[in-house]
Amino acid sequence: MEMEVNSAELGSNLYDDDGRLKRTGTMWTASAHIITAVIGSGVLSLAWAIAQLGWVAGPAVMLLFSLVTYYTSALLSDCYRSGDELTGKRNYTYMDAVNANLSGVKMQICGFLQYANIVGVAIGYTITTSISMLAIKRANCFHKEGPHHGDPCNNMSSTQYMIIFGVAEIFFSQIPLDKISWLPILAAVMSFTYSTIGIGLSVVRVVANGGIKGSITGISIGGEVTPMDKVWRSLQAFGDIAFAYSFANILIEIQDTIKQSPSSSESKAMRRATGVSVAVTAFFYMICGCTGYAAFGDAVPGNLLAGFGFHEPYWLLDVANAAVVVQLVTVYQLSCQPLFAAVEKWAAQRWPESAFITGGLHVNPFRLTWRTVFVCVTTVVAILVQPFFSCVAFLLGAVSFWPLTVYFPVEVYIAQRGVPRWSARWIGLKMLTAGCLAVAVAASVGSVADLIHSAPNVYRPFTGSIPPARVAYFRASRTAAAHT
């Protein structure tokens, strides 16, 4: 909340130059925030992405996207202040930076993409949580019946778990975020817990195999995998990897926590924080992806912990999947807050006299209704698209990465710094934008093609399971089939 203070107090020990309480964040706390926001359950699918590309292209693409993310994030961090980097007007959010430097149309497009991405993320979290909850039940079943016991352990529906998750989120969505400030810490602990278990189990599998699996060119063509399947899935892998690095839309908000220094700007501290966090994330991603691919080769599941490449120790799998569930319950709220706040702010401005919109001592009626409807709608959509989750997730990654991580940061930087048109720097930035657009379009085409290819007769709505006739096809033609 912005506080009103007199001019004598500005710049004092209590307030910063904009009249807000003095910020206390450092380069290290900003790095921690970024790492917490970026490393999520998507890390468990990176082995699948590397399997599509192989030992050379897979790590190279991961490194490429980390460099692109660092560079564009550094450009965006330079736009935290408009004008002088030490005394200029602050931009408190990603949208503030876009609004201060670009036209109204571009700002509206950016806002739509940002909020649409939040909706997509909410749907993805609902599906992923249900997959992990179902994986706990399946792990216990396999332990009891044996890893090769058929239908009872495989033919299970995840729909009920999505409904349970939705009910829980309706409750948590009504709790003010400042009352649960420990959520980011809990999410970070859970993230490192399940990622570490996944890496450990993969290393044990490599040792048990007596060597490293995989090939230079990735998954082999033959059987159910045609040359075109190979192309589409390779393009999907680009979207999967790109989505794993996205954090530009919260960068400015994180930078706004860094304390002011008389001699060094916040942008310099944020550049260092971005460099540290991207390096740590890339290293962590590389370990997770490469150890998973080394353990399973072409047979790597779409989710290391829920795809049942591992069956034992079942209790450790239960711990890992429970950590995924806890983390996603928390980050769902953290991710959706900007959309919740934007709609509630708009409604309050549109109908300021409405008791339904602004009334309520402890529970605001509009807040209760709107957030409940949002959770219900995203849960129903999640149930409908669940069998195509991998395709949808890769498509979201490809579609959101280019505008939010590349295009708008570059355009904001060009506008604020007044980069001359047709100068070497301007041409270089435009080439970067065009190159990333080409990659995003290719990844989107791959995801859409796979979605169309997989759609006919794939599932029965609201059953959360695939008909038996299609299970064999999915397992052969898509190693991510275990998601369903």
In order of their start, the domains of the chain are 27-483 (1.10.4160)
- pLDDT at residue 226 in the model: 82
Asked whether 228 and 62 are in contact (CB, 8 A), the reply is no
With bands split at pLDDT 50, 70 and 90, how would you rate the model's confidence at 195? confident
Q: What is the CA radius of gyration of the chain?
A: 23
Across the range 300-304, mean pLDDT stands at 78
Distances (CA, A) of 286 to 263, 289, 422: 37, 5, 37
Q: Which residue shows structure tokens 């940002």?
A: 114
Question: Which of 259-263, 297-301, 374-378 is the least confident region?
Answer: 259-263
Across the range 467-477, mean pLDDT stands at 32
Percent with pLDDT over 90 in the chain: 18
Taking only the tens place, the pLDDT of each residue in 386-404 is 777 666 666 776 777 888 8
DSSP collapsed to 3 states, the chain: CCCCCCCCCCCCCCECCCCCECCCECHHHHHHHHHHHHCCHHHHHHHHHHHHHHHHHHHHHHHHHHHHHHHHHHHHHCCCEECCCCCCEECCCHHHHHHHHCCHHHHHHHHHHHHHHHHHHHHHHHHHHHHHHHHHHHHHHHHHHCCCCCHHHHCCCCHHHHHHHHHHHHHHCCCCHHHHCCHHHHHHHHHHHHHHHHHHHHHHHHHHHCCCCCCCCCCCCECCECHHHHHHHHHHHHHHHHHHHCCHHHHHHHHCCECCCCCCCHHHHHHHHHHHHHHHHHHHHHHHHHHHHHHHHHHCCCCCCCCCCCCCCHHHHHHHHHHHHHHHHHHHHHHHHHHHHHHHHHHHHHCCCCHHHHCCCCCCHHHHHHHHHHHHHHHHHHHHHHHHHHHHHHHHHHHHHHHHHHHHHHHHHHHHHCCCCCCHHHHHHHHHHHHHHHHHHHHHHHHHHHHHHHCCCCCCCCCCCCCHHHHHHHHHHCHHHHHC
Residue with the bigger pLDDT between 262 and 251: it is: 251
CA diameter of the chain = 76
Q: From CA 285, how far away is CA 39, in angstroms rounded? A: 8
Question: Which of 55-69, 135-149, 225-239, 340-354 is the least confident region?
Answer: 135-149
| 461, pLDDT greater than 70 | no
Amino acid letter, 41: S
Both tokens assigned to 33: 């925030």
| 405, pLDDT greater than 50 | yes
Taking only the tens place, the pLDDT of each residue in 96-125 is 888 888 877 888 888 888 888 888 888 888
- pLDDT at residue 173 in the model: 86
Asked whether 402 and 444 are in contact (CB, 8 A), the reply is no
Give the closest residue to 42 by CA, choosing from 331, 272, 441, 308: 331
Across the range 6-20, mean pLDDT stands at 63
Asked whether 91 and 82 are in contact (CB, 8 A), the reply is yes
| 433, pLDDT greater than 80 | yes
Is-above-0.85 flag for pTM?
A: no
Q: What's the chain's length in residues?
A: 484
Across the range 416-428, mean pLDDT stands at 93
Both tokens assigned to 128: 């992923």
φ, ψ (nearest 5 deg) of residue 301:
-75, 160
| 290, pLDDT greater than 50 | yes
With bands split at pLDDT 50, 70 and 90, how would you rate the model's confidence at 459? low
Across the range 457-468, mean pLDDT stands at 49
Asked whether 237 and 395 are in contact (CB, 8 A), the reply is no
Asked whether 166 and 379 are in contact (CB, 8 A), the reply is yes
